[in-house]
Amino acid sequence: MTLTDTKQENKLGFFVRNQTIVVPIAAIFVAFVLGGILILLQGVNPLVAYKAIFSEAWFDSDGLLRTFQKTTPLVLAGLAVTVGLRVGLFNIGAQGQLISAALASALAGIYITNLSPIFHVLVALTCGIIVGAIWAGIAGILKAYRGVHEVISTIMLNSIAIGILDYLVSNPFKEPDQSLQRTKKIAETAVLPNIGVIPFGFILALIICLLVSWMLNKTTAGFRFNTVGKNKFAATYAGINMKLMVVTGMLLSGGLAGLGGAIETLGITYRFEPAFNAGLGFDGITIALLARANPLATIPAAILVGTLRAGGASLQFETGIEPEIVDVLLAITLLLVSAPILAKYLFKGKAQKSANVTSGWGN
Amino acid sequence: MLDFIKDNKKPVITLGLVTVIAYVLYFLDEIKTTSVLVFGWGYAVPLVLAAMVGIIGERTGVVNIGIEGQMLMSAFASFFGSVITGNIYLGMLIGIGAGLLMGAFLAVAAVKWEMDQIIAGVVINIVAAGLTSFFYAPGKTLPQLMPVVSIPILSDIPLIGPVFFRNGLFALATLFIVLAVNYAIFKTRWGLRSRSVGEYPSAADAAGINVTRVRMMNVTLAGALAGCAGAFLALEAAGTFARGLTAGRGFLALAIMIFGAWNPMGALAAALFFGLSTAIASQLQADEVINIPQQFVNLLPFVMTLIVLSIAVGRVRPPAAAGQPYTKEG
């Protein structure tokens, strides 16, 4: 082997070793190329379209605030799915947990009064976390004690949450004299402020990311989670209480999604309106898979998705392309990070397997 | 015939009981009973078809969570196929073709690439939702309505005739599809091979069955049934396409599959149970016998799914190898 061959090997070796980063970036790149072709087919220069998205999202102070606002609940939704994946649970119900929590914290922000500002925010956030955790906990209990697969139960719970919330905001908690179905504004004392263009909730979300990363990687509880997620049989054999792990995994995941919904209400929308939260939980799935279930990697993944969501709106205004192009970009990205197409093409035999969460039904 | 009844005791008894009750009600109130049954069967049709997709997949060892997305893509393709070609029959074929493609996609991802089957399915759902909402164009209408066909003699039977034998093409075909799938799974060589692949792939492999090929083929072909379900929703039931048209039916179908113990006749009975209870709840609501907010009535199928699953799982046994990729050794 000549010197240049070895060098070549080492260069590739760097990419092979870091394929958890290389594959998502390649996936995003390919998605933008394919999305660009779609945009081109609609008679618009893709570069102009992408420039419209990013200049709006990053180089405009209103746009930058909106980017952070979009990103904040996404970080937590992604984190919720990530924590679930680590315990071997696929929580596709982050949506239902997030929206029920968003309403719960709105109600706490409206109807609990006479509290000091910081305390009121804490109470409202806690309400959100608890409601999110309970909503996911139902799926956890059904899985642990009745063997109901969480993918089905959480999807059902999503639909149930949407129905119940729709009823609640169109009847008992509807803002009076308003045609829109939404609640009143929360009290001043319950508002999470913005610091310049950065919502306080965003900082909170980053701190939670660090905490979850620390919990998963450095604590006994995290070790148990990972063991259960990697090999149930080994975990049972080692004396880990599987039922307890399933329920706590779902509670934690739902609590994180709930916190996302609560922050969304208290720091961004200041009231609950169903349309505000559409699709956040499903973006959470994309983010978690893009981040390969790594809590810290959910931050850049969420920023990317948040950027596209924030910039997508101006896309229609400037180029006439429908903002749903963002859904297509994210769908292609999701496909490429979760299916081993890219990894196999790029690394042949050295490709690592992507996430594995499941076996059949009922266990 | 006797064999068939012996093999399907529970579903046959359930269906028999339902029939008797339906006729008693029919003599009490002809119009209402017929309308409840028509609504119930219309509700059940896509669920039955989608449950067949799940059953064929899992009997062969592949879990299909992506039925929802497969149906959505097919509904989209059949509707806009009809609009563009100006012919509803071409639209039907395009819808079924889209289902086949979606089935082939799951087959390649889950069987060939050995991707996690649940993740593959969820990805199909998200991708389908994204693509159909981007390419959706509002304000289009079907070039013609789905013709209603009556089967001679059968459609003259009181109650059962108008409900099951005077329908659009997909609803008519559904009963026969269920019987055909049931026969194919339990009485043919293909069925025996498929089940062995779903129960004990390494033994099937040792007996000379190509596990990968059987799985690829079945998951792909099942996609065509998801195509029928989607085309039924767009062309026959709704007569239009809207974003998120399938509204969770792909997941209800999985619950029905489990409730029916991975058995086509069982799934038919389970889907009828879902359809009829929803229809009865709507009728009671309309008659103001019960007075609960409409939002809660709409939730009924989802709550029923959770209850049914928490009772049924554990009492019924899934195919042993469902969800497990098969890697040939050596």
Residue A253 lies in a domain: yes
CA distance A189 to chain B (A): 33
Mutate to test the interface with A, among B295, B297, B307 (most CBs of A within 10 A): B295
Residue A355 lies in a domain: no
Residues of A in contact with B313 (CB under 8 A): 146-149, 361-362
Residue A287 lies in a domain: yes
Residues of B in contact with A355 (CB under 8 A): 116, 119
Domain count, chain A: 1
* Residue in A142, A151, A355 nearest the CB of B65: A151
State the count of interchain CB pairs (< 8 A) between A and B. 142
User: B118: pLDDT confidence band, cut at 50, 70 and 90?
Assistant: confident
* Residue in A146, A330, A361 nearest the CB of B130: A330
In chain B, the domains with their CATH numbers are 10-312 (1.10.3470)
Q: Is B262 left (phi over 0), alpha (psi -120 to 50) or beta?
A: left
Residues of A in contact with B251 (CB under 8 A): 152, 155-156
Tokens of A98: 């997030």
Q: Is the pLDDT of residue B168 over 70?
A: yes
Residue A10 lies in a domain: no
Nearest to B330 by CA among B223, B206, B221: B206
Partner-chain contact B116 A358, CB within 8 Å: yes
Element of type H or E holding B242: none
Residues of B in contact with A362 (CB under 8 A): 313-314, 318
Q: Closest residue of A to B133, CA-based?
A: A324
Residues of B in contact with A156 (CB under 8 A): 248, 251, 302-303, 305-306
Distances (CA, A) of A361 to A86, A199, B58, B63, B78: 19, 42, 10, 9, 32
The pLDDT score that the predictor gives to residue B293 is 83
The domain in which residue A299 lies consists of 73-306
Residue A130 lies in a domain: yes
Tokens of B80: 């806009």
Q: Is A174 left (phi over 0), alpha (psi -120 to 50) or beta?
A: beta
Residue A68 lies in a domain: no
Partner-chain contact B119 A357, CB within 8 Å: yes
B32-76 per-position pLDDT tens digit = 888 889 999 999 999 999 999 999 999 999 999 999 999 999 999
Residue A160 lies in a domain: yes
Residues of B in contact with A157 (CB under 8 A): 306
B269-310 per-position pLDDT tens digit = 889 988 988 888 888 888 877 778 888 888 888 898 899 888
Partner-chain contact A361 B113, CB within 8 Å: no
Q: Is the pLDDT of residue B128 over 80?
A: yes
What whole-number distance in Å separates Cα of residue B263 and Cα of residue B265?
6
Residues of B in contact with A289 (CB under 8 A): 119
**Residues making up chain A, counted from first to last:** 363
What whole-number distance in Å separates Cα of residue A249 and Cα of residue A255?
10
What's the mean pLDDT when you consider all of chain B? 89
Average pLDDT over residues B135-149: 87
Partner-chain contact B113 A325, CB within 8 Å: no
Q: Is the pTM of this model over 0.95?
A: no
Cβ neighbours of residue A55 closer than 8 Å, sequence gap 6 or more: A63, A311
CA distance B257 to chain A (A): 12
User: A42: pLDDT confidence band, cut at 50, 70 and 90?
Assistant: confident
DSSP state of B320: T
High-pLDDT (> 70) share of chain A, %: 92
* ipTM > 0.95, yes or no: no
Residue A347 lies in a domain: no
* Residue in B116, B131, B296 nearest the CB of A356: B116
Q: Is the pLDDT of residue B86 over 80?
A: yes
Partner-chain contact A327 B133, CB within 8 Å: yes
Angle at alpha carbon of residue B70, lines to B181 and A96, rounded to 5°: 115
CA distance A162 to chain B (A): 9
The pLDDT score that the predictor gives to residue A363 is 40
Residues of A in contact with B258 (CB under 8 A): 361
